[in-house]
Structure 1
Amino acid sequence: MRIFAIADLHLSFNKDVTLYDIDAEKDQYKPMDVFCGWERHFDKIRDNWLQSVSENDTVLIPGDISWAMKLEQAVHDFRWIHQLPGRKVMSPGNHCYYVTTKKKIRSVLPESMEWIDGDYTLVGDYVVVATRGWILPQDADWDETYDRKIHDRQVGRLNLALESARKDHPERPVIAMLHYPPLTTYAPDSDFFHVLKQYDVELCLYGHLHGNAHRTAINGEVDGIELRLVSCDYLNFNLLRVR
């Protein structure tokens, strides 16, 4: 079994569609043409996925899976992903407005798909934890009054997920899924990263960064933790094999 990752699929189907039966003229999806390189990006994801992933593999998807505002709309996107091979482990991003509770999300997911948020699952020899994360205090958009509470709550959720994973599976290596980056070139330290280090996380996957923001990403090993940006436009809509 191999483990792949890709984030920020940003799907937007408004009805159930097959992998190939997608016609823009029928208004079946929200066009992403306003963003350079995103024209019919789902075709690129589909083709690269089919070339890389087998039914025995697992794909980790840390956030921004669907543009849907309501869960009944997001289901169309989940069903499209379900048609692709492999097990899919997903977690929330900042645009996952359809998310209310884990129970409701899990109740509508097809069999090949799993949702984790503030908790963990097992993938082969690894334990995989996830939470959304948040912007960092060094971010230009940081608002202490608004962002601090959310930031601290997300740090706490990451800590609880890792604490539980380590308690139940102390010998397994850990992969963490965040949507927001735990470090950037303008924020070389963070509370999220301290928690990752505390629990000896081996690999942290994150998304969220697009376009010019790719330049702020940190990829590679930092203090023994491997960081990987896996937003789909950064990967040119390929999947990154991470293990």
Structure 2
Amino acid sequence: MFAISDLHLSFNKPVGLTGIDHEQDIDKPMDVFGWDFHYDRVRDAWLETVSEEDTVLIPGDISWALRLEQARYDFDWINALPGRKILSPGNHCYYAQSKKKVRHMLPEGMEWIDADCTIAEGYVIAGTRGWNLPGEPGWDESSDRRIYDRQVGRLEMALSTAAKQYPEKERIVMLHYPPATPKVSNSDFMRVMQEYEVKTCLYGHLHGRSHRDAFVGDYEGVHLQLVSCDYLDFKPVPVHV
């Protein structure tokens, strides 16, 4: 089982895995962030690493698309790569207003989880987006608290379902936002994962200089694994299990 997040694709038409026109086929190139031709780097590393029998977990920020019909081009490109894909939302997944509509649109072999769970390679995978943590720079109690509490509740809903339906299986969580940071070393996301004995939490969202302060490794009983694609040098990595 592998993971990679924050692919930030933006194809504006159907494209193949190769022969992509950088000027004509992409709406939002990532060159400004130093991610030159990052889709080629993701593709090459993916083809070298992942087989058709593998599962790839992708926790958020998959596409820059604003509408679901635009995101289809990015999902179709990912679908052409090997393996089963399990996706969950990020803060830039503006097209994902309806879980039902996203699931209806996804190609066969791709799954969308959000406040629920699925089974992959003998593990139960639960996911939701997450949110900024209270006490982080930029936190606004009046606007962030409601979203934060709702996302904590959605994680608890996903893990409660996992525990009831698959009590014997170890649990892996997909979040987009980190559940703990140097400024906020504990959070309700961590509390919920500890209560449900989560083995590993995958998260993304952090880029560039933010990588230096990321919590990675065993922390308060949960293994935290940062899988932003630039942190991974654009290569899917094995999930810590």
TM-score, L = length of structure 2: 0.98
1:44 alignment partner, one of 34, 38, 41: 41
Distance 1:191 1:84 in 2: 35
Which residue number corresponds to residue 154 of structure 1?
Answer: 151
Deviations 1:177-204 (A, max 9, x none): 0000001112111010000000000000
What residue identity is the alignment partner of 1:17? V
2:129 alignment partner, one of 120, 129, 132: 132
Matches within 5 A, 1:142-181: 142-181=139-178
SS where residue 172 of structure 2 aligns?
strand
Distance 2:19 2:105 in 1: 22
SS where residue 34 of structure 1 aligns?
helix
**Aligned 8 A contact 1:186 1:216 in 2:** no
Distance 1:121 1:14 in 2: 30
Which residue number corresponds to residue 87 of structure 2?
Answer: 90
Distance 1:182 1:98 in 2: 24
Structure 1 stretches of at least 4 aligned residues deviating more than 6 Å after TM superposition: none
**Aligned 8 A contact 1:180 1:208 in 2:** yes
1:232 alignment partner, one of 225, 229, 233: 229
SS where residue 24 of structure 1 aligns?
coil
Which residue number corresponds to residue 55 of structure 2?
Answer: 58
25-34 or 206-215, larger mean C-alpha shift: 25-34
Matches within 5 A, 1:205-216: 205-216=202-213
Unaligned runs of 5+ in 2: none
Which residue number corresponds to residue 108 of structure 2?
Answer: 111
22-31 or 138-147, larger mean C-alpha shift: 22-31
1:33 alignment partner, one of 28, 31, 42: 31
Distance 2:8 2:59 in 1: 12
SS where residue 104 of structure 1 aligns?
helix
What is the percent sequence identity of the aligned residues? 60
Which residue number corresponds to residue 23 of structure 1?
Answer: 21
**Aligned 8 A contact 1:136 1:187 in 2:** yes
2:10 alignment partner, one of 3, 9, 12: 12
**Aligned 8 A contact 1:179 1:207 in 2:** yes
Deviations 1:196-229 (A, max 9, x none): 0000000000000001111221000012211000
Unaligned runs of 5+ in 1: none
What residue identity is the alignment partner of 2:192? V
Distance 1:98 1:80 in 2: 17
**Aligned 8 A contact 2:15 2:25 in 1:** no
Identify if the C-alpha distance between structure 1 residues 50 and 27 changes in structure 2 by more than 3 Å, giving closer, same or farther: closer
Which residue number corresponds to residue 197 of structure 2?
Answer: 200
